[in-house]
A and B are shown apart, each in its own frame.
Chain A
Amino acid sequence: MTVHLPGDLAHEFGAPAHHITTAENLNALLQELDRQYPGMANWIAEVNGSVRQHLSVFVDGRRLEPTAALTTSLAHAQEVWILRAVSGG
Chain B
Amino acid sequence: MDYIPNTDADRAEMLKVVGVETVADLFHDVPEQFRFPKLDLPPALTEMEMLQELQALADENDDLNHLACFLGAGAYNHFVPKVVDSIISRGEFYTAYTPYQPEISQGTLQAHFEYQSMITALTGMEVSNVSHYDGATAVAEAVIMALQVGRNKRCNVILSPTLNPQYRDVVHTYTQGMCVKTIGENAPLGDLNALADMCDKDAACVIVQNPDFLGRLYLPAEMQALADRVHGAGAMLIVACDPISLGLFTPPGHYGADVACGEAQPMGNSLSLGGPYVGFFAMKMGEVRKSAGRIVGQTVDVDEERGFNALAAAIYMAAMGKHGLKKAAELTYHKAHYAAKLVDALDDYAVKSDGPFFKEFVVQCPLPIAELNERLLNEWGIVGGYDLGADYPELKDHMLVCVTEMNSKVEIETLAEALAAIAAPASEDLEGQDESLGETEQSDIEEVA
A and B pair up: no
| Interface positions of B (Cβ within 8 A of A) | none
| Interface positions of A (Cβ within 8 A of B) | none
